[in-house]
Amino acid sequence: MLPPGVGQWRLSMQEVSLDIAVSADSAIVWQDERLYLLDQRLLPGREVFIECTDVQGVAQAIRAMVVRGAPAIGISAAYGIGLAVRARHLSDPLHWREVLEADYQTLAEARPTAVNLFWAIAHMRRFIASIDDTDPAARVLAEAIEIHRCDRADNRRIGEFGAGLIEGPTAVITHCNAGGLATGGWGTALGVIRSAHAQGRIHQVYADETRPWLQGARLTAWELARDAIPVKVIADSAAPARMAAGGVGWVIVGADRIAANGDVANKIGTYGLAVAARHHGVRVLVAAPTSTIDPETPSGAEIPIEQRSADEVLQYAGQRIAADAVDAWNPVFDVTPAELVDAIVTERGVIEKPNPARLAEHLAGE
Protein backbone atom coordinates (compact mmCIF):
# COMPACT_ATOMS: atom_id res chain seq x y z
CA MET A 1 0.00 0.00 0.00
CA LEU A 2 1.35 3.42 -0.92
CA PRO A 3 0.50 6.51 1.08
CA PRO A 4 -2.54 7.95 -0.75
CA GLY A 5 -1.94 11.37 -2.24
CA VAL A 6 1.62 10.64 -3.19
CA GLY A 7 1.32 9.95 -6.86
CA GLN A 8 4.84 10.91 -7.83
CA TRP A 9 6.28 8.87 -5.05
CA ARG A 10 8.88 6.35 -6.20
CA LEU A 11 11.06 3.80 -4.49
CA SER A 12 14.54 4.76 -5.60
CA MET A 13 16.60 3.14 -2.85
CA GLN A 14 18.00 -0.32 -2.34
CA GLU A 15 15.68 -2.56 -0.33
CA VAL A 16 17.24 -5.17 1.93
CA SER A 17 15.76 -7.84 4.14
CA LEU A 18 17.08 -8.03 7.69
CA ASP A 19 16.93 -11.02 9.95
CA ILE A 20 15.24 -9.14 12.80
CA ALA A 21 11.72 -9.02 14.18
CA VAL A 22 10.25 -5.74 12.94
CA SER A 23 8.62 -3.61 15.61
CA ALA A 24 7.86 0.05 16.30
CA ASP A 25 11.31 0.22 17.88
CA SER A 26 13.18 -0.83 14.74
CA ALA A 27 12.75 2.31 12.65
CA ILE A 28 16.52 2.84 12.80
CA VAL A 29 18.82 -0.17 12.98
CA TRP A 30 22.60 0.02 13.35
CA GLN A 31 23.87 -3.50 12.78
CA ASP A 32 27.27 -4.89 11.70
CA GLU A 33 28.56 -1.33 11.18
CA ARG A 34 25.73 -0.59 8.73
CA LEU A 35 22.69 1.71 8.88
CA TYR A 36 19.26 0.39 7.98
CA LEU A 37 16.03 2.40 8.00
CA LEU A 38 12.60 0.77 8.08
CA ASP A 39 10.77 2.17 5.04
CA GLN A 40 7.86 3.91 6.75
CA ARG A 41 6.30 4.76 3.37
CA LEU A 42 5.34 1.10 2.98
CA LEU A 43 3.94 0.35 6.45
CA PRO A 44 1.78 -1.37 7.44
CA GLY A 45 1.58 -3.39 4.21
CA ARG A 46 5.27 -4.22 3.86
CA GLU A 47 8.11 -4.35 6.36
CA VAL A 48 11.17 -3.48 4.30
CA PHE A 49 14.50 -1.90 5.20
CA ILE A 50 16.58 0.51 3.15
CA GLU A 51 20.34 0.43 3.63
CA CYS A 52 21.95 3.88 3.75
CA THR A 53 25.59 3.55 2.79
CA ASP A 54 26.51 7.24 2.86
CA VAL A 55 25.38 10.64 4.12
CA GLN A 56 23.69 11.45 0.80
CA GLY A 57 21.58 8.32 1.19
CA VAL A 58 20.57 9.35 4.70
CA ALA A 59 19.57 12.84 3.51
CA GLN A 60 17.59 11.32 0.65
CA ALA A 61 15.81 8.94 3.06
CA ILE A 62 14.86 11.86 5.31
CA ARG A 63 13.60 13.96 2.39
CA ALA A 64 11.62 11.06 0.91
CA MET A 65 10.03 10.19 4.29
CA VAL A 66 11.57 6.71 4.55
CA VAL A 67 12.37 7.88 8.07
CA ARG A 68 10.25 10.64 9.57
CA GLY A 69 9.33 12.10 12.96
CA ALA A 70 11.54 14.75 14.53
CA PRO A 71 13.69 12.64 16.91
CA ALA A 72 14.11 9.83 14.35
CA ILE A 73 15.27 12.38 11.76
CA GLY A 74 17.86 13.71 14.26
CA ILE A 75 19.13 10.23 15.16
CA SER A 76 19.41 9.24 11.48
CA ALA A 77 21.36 12.43 10.79
CA ALA A 78 23.78 11.58 13.61
CA TYR A 79 24.44 8.17 12.02
CA GLY A 80 24.74 9.91 8.65
CA ILE A 81 27.52 12.09 10.03
CA GLY A 82 29.22 8.94 11.32
CA LEU A 83 29.09 7.45 7.82
CA ALA A 84 30.44 10.73 6.42
CA VAL A 85 33.39 10.74 8.83
CA ARG A 86 34.16 7.14 7.90
CA ALA A 87 34.27 7.99 4.18
CA ARG A 88 36.01 11.37 4.51
CA HIS A 89 38.73 10.14 6.90
CA LEU A 90 39.43 7.11 4.69
CA SER A 91 39.91 9.23 1.57
CA ASP A 92 41.75 12.15 3.21
CA PRO A 93 43.10 11.50 6.74
CA LEU A 94 44.57 15.02 6.86
CA HIS A 95 41.70 17.23 5.72
CA TRP A 96 38.61 15.16 6.55
CA ARG A 97 37.22 17.77 8.96
CA GLU A 98 37.04 20.56 6.35
CA VAL A 99 35.21 18.46 3.74
CA LEU A 100 32.63 17.45 6.33
CA GLU A 101 31.09 20.94 6.02
CA ALA A 102 29.44 19.90 2.74
CA ASP A 103 27.93 16.85 4.45
CA TYR A 104 26.43 18.94 7.27
CA GLN A 105 24.91 21.14 4.58
CA THR A 106 23.46 18.17 2.68
CA LEU A 107 21.74 16.96 5.84
CA ALA A 108 20.55 20.42 6.87
CA GLU A 109 18.77 20.80 3.53
CA ALA A 110 16.82 17.55 3.90
CA ARG A 111 13.81 18.96 5.81
CA PRO A 112 13.41 22.40 7.43
CA THR A 113 10.97 22.19 10.36
CA ALA A 114 12.09 19.48 12.80
CA VAL A 115 14.75 21.19 14.89
CA ASN A 116 16.09 17.82 16.08
CA LEU A 117 17.87 17.58 12.71
CA PHE A 118 19.77 20.81 13.39
CA TRP A 119 20.26 19.85 17.04
CA ALA A 120 21.92 16.58 15.93
CA ILE A 121 24.16 18.32 13.39
CA ALA A 122 25.26 20.90 16.01
CA HIS A 123 25.82 18.18 18.62
CA MET A 124 27.95 16.05 16.26
CA ARG A 125 29.87 19.10 15.07
CA ARG A 126 30.80 19.91 18.70
CA PHE A 127 31.67 16.27 19.37
CA ILE A 128 33.95 16.11 16.31
CA ALA A 129 35.68 19.32 17.41
CA SER A 130 36.41 17.68 20.76
CA ILE A 131 38.23 14.57 19.44
CA ASP A 132 41.65 14.04 17.85
CA ASP A 133 42.38 12.17 14.61
CA THR A 134 42.73 8.70 16.13
CA ASP A 135 40.08 6.46 14.55
CA PRO A 136 37.47 9.26 14.45
CA ALA A 137 34.82 7.25 12.59
CA ALA A 138 34.52 4.68 15.37
CA ARG A 139 34.18 7.40 17.97
CA VAL A 140 31.67 9.47 15.99
CA LEU A 141 29.57 6.39 15.27
CA ALA A 142 29.69 5.47 18.97
CA GLU A 143 28.34 8.95 19.72
CA ALA A 144 25.47 8.40 17.27
CA ILE A 145 24.67 5.11 19.03
CA GLU A 146 24.67 7.00 22.33
CA ILE A 147 22.24 9.65 21.00
CA HIS A 148 19.99 6.81 19.84
CA ARG A 149 20.16 5.10 23.25
CA CYS A 150 19.50 8.34 25.16
CA ASP A 151 16.45 9.12 23.05
CA ARG A 152 14.95 5.72 23.88
CA ALA A 153 15.60 6.26 27.59
CA ASP A 154 14.25 9.83 27.48
CA ASN A 155 11.01 8.62 25.92
CA ARG A 156 10.45 6.28 28.85
CA ARG A 157 10.76 9.25 31.21
CA ILE A 158 8.48 11.41 29.04
CA GLY A 159 5.94 8.58 29.15
CA GLU A 160 5.99 8.38 32.94
CA PHE A 161 5.84 12.17 33.49
CA GLY A 162 3.01 12.52 30.97
CA ALA A 163 0.99 9.61 32.34
CA GLY A 164 1.06 11.28 35.76
CA LEU A 165 -1.02 14.16 34.37
CA ILE A 166 -3.87 12.01 33.13
CA GLU A 167 -6.63 11.30 35.58
CA GLY A 168 -8.32 8.40 33.92
CA PRO A 169 -9.73 6.33 32.70
CA THR A 170 -10.36 8.50 29.67
CA ALA A 171 -10.22 8.48 25.89
CA VAL A 172 -7.57 10.54 24.09
CA ILE A 173 -6.98 11.80 20.57
CA THR A 174 -3.56 11.77 18.94
CA HIS A 175 -2.44 13.20 15.61
CA CYS A 176 0.18 12.00 13.12
CA ASN A 177 2.69 9.50 14.54
CA ALA A 178 4.84 10.35 17.52
CA GLY A 179 5.57 6.74 18.42
CA GLY A 180 8.52 4.38 18.40
CA LEU A 181 8.72 4.79 14.63
CA ALA A 182 9.21 8.56 14.98
CA THR A 183 11.89 8.29 17.66
CA GLY A 184 14.65 6.02 18.91
CA GLY A 185 11.90 3.82 20.37
CA TRP A 186 8.79 3.87 22.64
CA GLY A 187 7.70 7.30 21.42
CA THR A 188 6.87 10.72 22.83
CA ALA A 189 3.07 11.13 22.51
CA LEU A 190 2.70 7.36 22.15
CA GLY A 191 5.16 6.92 25.03
CA VAL A 192 2.72 8.86 27.23
CA ILE A 193 -0.19 6.85 25.83
CA ARG A 194 1.66 3.54 26.39
CA SER A 195 2.54 4.41 30.00
CA ALA A 196 -0.91 5.81 30.78
CA HIS A 197 -2.65 2.81 29.23
CA ALA A 198 -0.49 0.45 31.28
CA GLN A 199 -1.59 2.36 34.40
CA GLY A 200 -5.29 2.14 33.49
CA ARG A 201 -5.56 5.86 32.79
CA ILE A 202 -6.39 5.59 29.07
CA HIS A 203 -8.98 3.12 27.79
CA GLN A 204 -9.38 4.30 24.20
CA VAL A 205 -7.18 6.09 21.66
CA TYR A 206 -8.57 7.91 18.62
CA ALA A 207 -5.88 8.25 15.96
CA ASP A 208 -6.46 11.03 13.43
CA GLU A 209 -5.75 9.54 10.01
CA THR A 210 -3.47 12.55 9.25
CA ARG A 211 -3.89 13.54 5.63
CA PRO A 212 -2.10 13.42 3.28
CA TRP A 213 0.61 10.93 4.35
CA LEU A 214 -1.72 9.05 6.71
CA GLN A 215 0.82 8.66 9.49
CA GLY A 216 -2.06 8.17 11.94
CA ALA A 217 -3.95 5.52 9.95
CA ARG A 218 -0.85 3.70 8.71
CA LEU A 219 1.69 4.05 11.55
CA THR A 220 0.05 5.05 14.86
CA ALA A 221 -2.78 2.54 14.49
CA TRP A 222 -0.21 -0.17 13.55
CA GLU A 223 1.92 0.59 16.61
CA LEU A 224 -0.99 0.66 19.07
CA ALA A 225 -2.70 -2.41 17.64
CA ARG A 226 0.55 -4.38 18.01
CA ASP A 227 0.58 -3.37 21.69
CA ALA A 228 -3.09 -4.31 22.10
CA ILE A 229 -3.98 -0.71 23.03
CA PRO A 230 -7.56 0.00 21.86
CA VAL A 231 -7.36 2.35 18.87
CA LYS A 232 -9.89 3.69 16.41
CA VAL A 233 -8.88 5.66 13.35
CA ILE A 234 -10.91 8.80 12.68
CA ALA A 235 -10.88 11.22 9.74
CA ASP A 236 -9.03 14.38 10.79
CA SER A 237 -12.26 16.32 10.37
CA ALA A 238 -14.08 13.98 12.81
CA ALA A 239 -11.97 15.00 15.82
CA PRO A 240 -14.09 18.00 16.98
CA ALA A 241 -17.28 15.91 16.69
CA ARG A 242 -15.61 13.18 18.73
CA MET A 243 -14.76 15.74 21.43
CA ALA A 244 -18.34 17.05 21.39
CA ALA A 245 -19.61 13.50 21.92
CA GLY A 246 -17.80 13.45 25.29
CA GLY A 247 -15.38 11.17 27.10
CA VAL A 248 -12.18 12.62 25.60
CA GLY A 249 -9.92 14.01 28.32
CA TRP A 250 -6.78 14.88 26.39
CA VAL A 251 -5.28 15.55 22.99
CA ILE A 252 -1.74 14.11 23.13
CA VAL A 253 0.70 15.03 20.36
CA GLY A 254 4.41 15.30 19.65
CA ALA A 255 6.29 18.30 18.25
CA ASP A 256 8.75 19.14 15.52
CA ARG A 257 9.93 22.35 17.10
CA ILE A 258 8.93 24.24 20.23
CA ALA A 259 9.81 27.94 20.15
CA ALA A 260 11.22 29.78 23.17
CA ASN A 261 7.76 31.14 24.01
CA GLY A 262 6.13 27.69 24.00
CA ASP A 263 4.50 27.85 20.53
CA VAL A 264 4.51 24.35 19.05
CA ALA A 265 5.09 23.33 15.43
CA ASN A 266 3.68 19.89 14.70
CA LYS A 267 1.96 18.02 11.88
CA ILE A 268 -0.60 20.09 9.95
CA GLY A 269 -3.94 19.78 11.73
CA THR A 270 -2.55 20.02 15.27
CA TYR A 271 -3.53 23.70 15.52
CA GLY A 272 -7.15 23.01 14.55
CA LEU A 273 -7.22 20.13 17.02
CA ALA A 274 -6.01 22.43 19.82
CA VAL A 275 -8.61 25.11 18.93
CA ALA A 276 -11.36 22.48 19.06
CA ALA A 277 -9.95 21.06 22.29
CA ARG A 278 -10.10 24.43 24.03
CA HIS A 279 -13.73 24.90 22.90
CA HIS A 280 -14.68 21.50 24.35
CA GLY A 281 -12.68 21.69 27.60
CA VAL A 282 -10.27 18.98 26.40
CA ARG A 283 -6.69 19.49 27.55
CA VAL A 284 -3.67 19.48 25.23
CA LEU A 285 -0.43 17.70 26.11
CA VAL A 286 2.67 18.09 23.92
CA ALA A 287 5.31 15.41 24.52
CA ALA A 288 8.84 16.04 23.22
CA PRO A 289 12.47 15.71 24.27
CA THR A 290 14.32 18.90 25.20
CA SER A 291 16.20 18.59 21.88
CA THR A 292 12.90 19.67 20.25
CA ILE A 293 12.88 22.97 22.19
CA ASP A 294 14.62 25.66 20.17
CA PRO A 295 15.66 28.59 22.37
CA GLU A 296 17.02 30.37 19.27
CA THR A 297 13.54 30.68 17.75
CA PRO A 298 11.60 33.30 19.73
CA SER A 299 8.08 32.35 18.64
CA GLY A 300 6.15 30.15 16.25
CA ALA A 301 6.13 32.93 13.65
CA GLU A 302 9.85 32.31 13.04
CA ILE A 303 9.58 28.50 12.65
CA PRO A 304 10.20 27.50 9.01
CA ILE A 305 7.21 25.48 7.82
CA GLU A 306 7.91 22.84 5.20
CA GLN A 307 5.80 23.01 2.05
CA ARG A 308 5.62 19.79 0.06
CA SER A 309 4.39 18.92 -3.41
CA ALA A 310 0.81 19.88 -4.33
CA ASP A 311 0.40 16.34 -5.67
CA GLU A 312 0.32 15.04 -2.11
CA VAL A 313 -3.15 16.56 -1.70
CA LEU A 314 -4.31 16.62 -5.32
CA GLN A 315 -3.89 12.87 -5.71
CA TYR A 316 -5.27 9.92 -3.85
CA ALA A 317 -3.60 6.49 -4.07
CA GLY A 318 -1.68 7.65 -7.12
CA GLN A 319 -4.79 8.93 -8.96
CA ARG A 320 -5.42 12.60 -9.53
CA ILE A 321 -8.70 13.54 -7.84
CA ALA A 322 -8.82 17.30 -8.49
CA ALA A 323 -9.45 18.90 -11.89
CA ASP A 324 -6.30 19.38 -13.97
CA ALA A 325 -6.12 23.17 -13.64
CA VAL A 326 -6.35 23.10 -9.84
CA ASP A 327 -3.35 23.81 -7.61
CA ALA A 328 -2.99 23.09 -3.86
CA TRP A 329 -1.49 24.66 -0.73
CA ASN A 330 0.39 21.96 1.18
CA PRO A 331 2.13 23.12 4.36
CA VAL A 332 2.92 19.94 6.28
CA PHE A 333 3.20 21.53 9.72
CA ASP A 334 1.32 24.25 11.59
CA VAL A 335 1.92 26.26 14.73
CA THR A 336 -0.20 25.88 17.86
CA PRO A 337 0.09 29.00 20.05
CA ALA A 338 1.39 28.33 23.57
CA GLU A 339 -1.86 29.60 25.07
CA LEU A 340 -3.67 26.55 23.65
CA VAL A 341 -1.16 24.11 25.21
CA ASP A 342 -1.90 22.88 28.75
CA ALA A 343 1.40 21.07 29.28
CA ILE A 344 4.68 20.34 27.55
CA VAL A 345 6.28 17.14 28.85
CA THR A 346 9.98 16.45 28.35
CA GLU A 347 12.43 13.91 29.79
CA ARG A 348 13.06 16.45 32.58
CA GLY A 349 9.45 16.86 33.68
CA VAL A 350 6.33 18.92 33.04
CA ILE A 351 5.97 22.54 31.94
CA GLU A 352 2.40 23.52 32.76
CA LYS A 353 0.88 26.42 30.80
CA PRO A 354 4.12 27.08 28.91
CA ASN A 355 5.48 30.61 28.64
CA PRO A 356 8.98 32.00 27.89
CA ALA A 357 10.07 32.10 31.56
CA ARG A 358 8.92 28.54 32.27
CA LEU A 359 10.65 27.19 29.17
CA ALA A 360 13.90 29.01 29.97
CA GLU A 361 13.80 27.73 33.56
CA HIS A 362 13.12 24.19 32.35
CA LEU A 363 16.06 24.29 29.91
CA ALA A 364 18.38 25.77 32.54
CA GLY A 365 17.62 22.92 34.99
CA GLU A 366 19.47 19.63 35.06
Q: Which of 195, 215, 297, 346 binds ligand MRU (CB under 6 A)?
A: 215
C-alpha span between 298 and 217 (Å, rounded): 33
Task: Rounding to the nearest 10 degrees, give the CA dihedral for residues 288, 292, 297, 302.
Answer: -80
CB atoms near residue 223 (< 10 Å): 25
Instruction: In whole angstroms, give the CA distance from residue 257 to residue 280.
Output: 26
Binds ligand MRU (CB under 6 A): choice among 197, 211, 218, 267: 267
Q: Does 178 bind ligand MRU (CB under 6 A)?
A: yes
266 interacts with ligand MRU by CB under 6 A: yes
For residues 82 and 187, which CB has a smaller minimum distance to ligand MRU in the complex?
A: 187
Say whether residue 255 binds ligand MRU (CB under 6 A): yes
Q: Is the peptide bond before 112 cis (omega within 30 degrees of 0)?
A: no
Least Cα distance to 43 among 27, 57, 28 occurs for: 27
Count other Cβ atoms within 10 Å, centred on residue 260. 19
Does 291 sit near ligand MRU (CB under 6 A)?
no
Which of the stretches 42-50, 132-140, 176-184, 346-354 binds ligand MRU when contact is defined by CB under 6 A? 176-184
- When the beta carbons of 127 and 271 are compared against ligand MRU, the nearer one is 271
Q: How far is the CB of 241 from ligand MRU (least distance, A)?
A: 22
* Span interacting with ligand MRU, options 80-88, 144-152, 229-237, 250-258, rule CB under 6 A: 250-258
Closer CB to ligand MRU, 256 or 342, in the complex: 256
The answer to whether residue 71 forms part of the interface with ligand MRU (CB under 6 A) is: yes
Among 103, 256, 294, 311, binds ligand MRU (CB under 6 A): 256
If one asks whether residue 3 binds ligand MRU (CB under 6 A), the answer comes out as: no
Q: Are strands 283-287 and 343-346 parallel, antiparallel or unpaired?
A: parallel
Please pick, from the candidates 6, 55, 70, 345, the single residue that binds ligand MRU as defined by CB under 6 A.
Answer: 70
256 included as an active-site residue: yes
Smallest distance, ligand MRU to C-beta of residue 64, A: 11
Residue 238 CB-density burial (10 A; 0-12 exposed, 13-18 middle, 19+ buried): middle
d(CA 17, CA 19): 7
Q: Which amino acid is at 354?
A: P
CB of 135 to ligand MRU, least distance (A): 33
Question: In this structure, what are the phi and psi dihedrals at residue 169, rounded to the nearest 5 degrees?
Answer: -80, 140
Distance CA(215)–CA(40), nearest Å, equals 9
Smallest distance from ligand MRU to CB 71, Å: 5
Distance of CA 295 to the CA centre of its chain: 19
Distances (CA, A) of 34 to 224, 231, 272, 356: 29, 35, 41, 41
Residue closer to ligand MRU, measured from CB, 137 or 346: 346
Binding region for ligand MRU (CB under 6 A) out of 43-51, 52-60, 164-172, 174-182 = 174-182
Distance of CA 137 to the CA centre of its chain: 26
Using the 8-state DSSP alphabet, how is residue 208 labeled? E
| 195 touching ligand MRU, by CB under 6 A | no
Residues 129-148 that bind ligand MRU (CB under 6 A): none
Cα 350 vs. chain centroid, distance in angstroms?
20
Q: Which of 154, 256, 294, 342 is catalytic?
A: 256
Residue 42 is a binding residue for ligand MRU (CB under 6 A): no
Residues lying near ligand MRU in the complex (CB under 6 A): 68-71, 114, 176, 178, 182-183, 188, 215, 254-256, 266-267, 332
List residues with catalytic annotation: 256
